[in-house]
Amino acid sequence: MRKLEIDGIRVIVFDDTKSMIAEAVSYLYDVLRTDPESVIGLATGDTFIPFYSMIAETFRKARVSFKDVTTFNLDEYVGLPEDSPHSYHTYMEQNLFSKVDINRKNAHLPDGSAPDPEEAASEYEKLIREAGGIDLQFLGLGRNGHIGFNEPGTSFDSLTHVTELSEGTVLANAHLFGSPEDVPHRAITMGIRTILDARRVVLLAFGENKSVAIRDTFTRGITESVPASSLKLHRRATFLLDSAAAKFIT
């Protein structure tokens, strides 16, 4: 394990993915032990499947509970019903919510099937504010440097909004849907300002396919062309990486 600080971001590089995931889980448990009523921001995607699996296996032994926790997921596809096998509602139910003692009424995701997605996005932002903001926000990283579904070019002042997904993001998610044609092209996502307003942010990335995005985050300044570079503006941002993802910065 190597600890670095780059542009104000704490970076921890692990030799193996399991150790990286264990560190992320320990961050969560520390927050829940300090405040059992914490507000936690959650993410989806392949990166977080082992994260949620480890939580399901260890939370009782770790003596933490989710019954008083409030969660907000980063994003959801527009046009998918909650019970779609491809929705993030289904992903969260299968990977985490059904495995822990969370109160479902406190587990929030954007309403991608709402008749007016823009209004649903505004309501979601309002709900986050009414909860007092997010104490700990977990993030993955897209190959083009996106966080949430904030694609390159997204304003750093953006709040929760409806976004058009880039061709690269659609292709990256095609394996989950069967073909690119089946992937929704819009999503509701927390904005970059919403993410930066979290009191603490932890980004997870592993694998060589994330190495260019990590390199660009740290070598191209603070620029809207690399959304993850916005995290340099946060006072308490941590990147947990494996050695493959960090190969260009170590």
Residue 250 lies in a domain: no
Write out pLDDT tens, residues 145-182.
999 999 999 999 999 999 999 998 988 888 888 878 88
Question: Per this entry, what is the length of the chain?
Answer: 250
Known catalytic residue: 151? yes
Q: 215: pLDDT confidence band, cut at 50, 70 and 90? A: very high
Task: State the catalytic residue, choosing from 111, 151, 216, 242.
Answer: 151
Residue 32 lies in a domain: yes
Closest CA to 100 of 32, 183, 170, 199: 32
Helix (H, G, I), strand (E, B) or coil at 30: helix
Residue 158 lies in a domain: yes
Q: What is the pLDDT of residue 229?
A: 99
Q: Is the pTM of this model over 0.85?
A: yes
Closest CA to 190 of 102, 73, 101: 73
Task: State the catalytic residue, choosing from 75, 125, 135, 216.
Answer: 75
User: Residue 121: what residue type?
Assistant: A
Number of separate domains in the chain:
1
54 pLDDT higher than 90: yes
Q: What is the pLDDT of residue 179?
A: 79
Please state, for a pLDDT cut of 90, what percent of the chain lies above it.
94
Residue 227 lies in a domain: yes
Residue 115 lies in a domain: yes
Q: 67: pLDDT confidence band, cut at 50, 70 and 90? A: very high
Closest CA to 32 of 216, 176, 217, 200: 200
What tokens were used for 16?
A: 């193996």
Residue 31 lies in a domain: yes
Q: 127: pLDDT confidence band, cut at 50, 70 and 90? A: very high
Helix (H, G, I), strand (E, B) or coil at 11: strand
Range of the domain at 201: 2-242
Q: What is the pLDDT of residue 18?
A: 97
Known catalytic residue: 75? yes
Q: 183: pLDDT confidence band, cut at 50, 70 and 90? A: confident
Residue 247 lies in a domain: no
Please state, for a pLDDT cut of 70, what percent of the chain lies above it.
100
Known catalytic residue: 37? no
Residue 9 lies in a domain: yes
Task: State the catalytic residue, choosing from 76, 95, 135, 146.
Answer: 146
Task: State the catalytic residue, choosing from 73, 95, 144, 150.
Answer: 144
Q: What is the pLDDT of residue 211?
A: 98
Q: What is the CATH number of the domain that holds 201?
A: 3.40.50.1360
Q: 123: pLDDT confidence band, cut at 50, 70 and 90? A: very high
Q: What is the pLDDT of residue 172?
A: 85
Known catalytic residue: 86? no
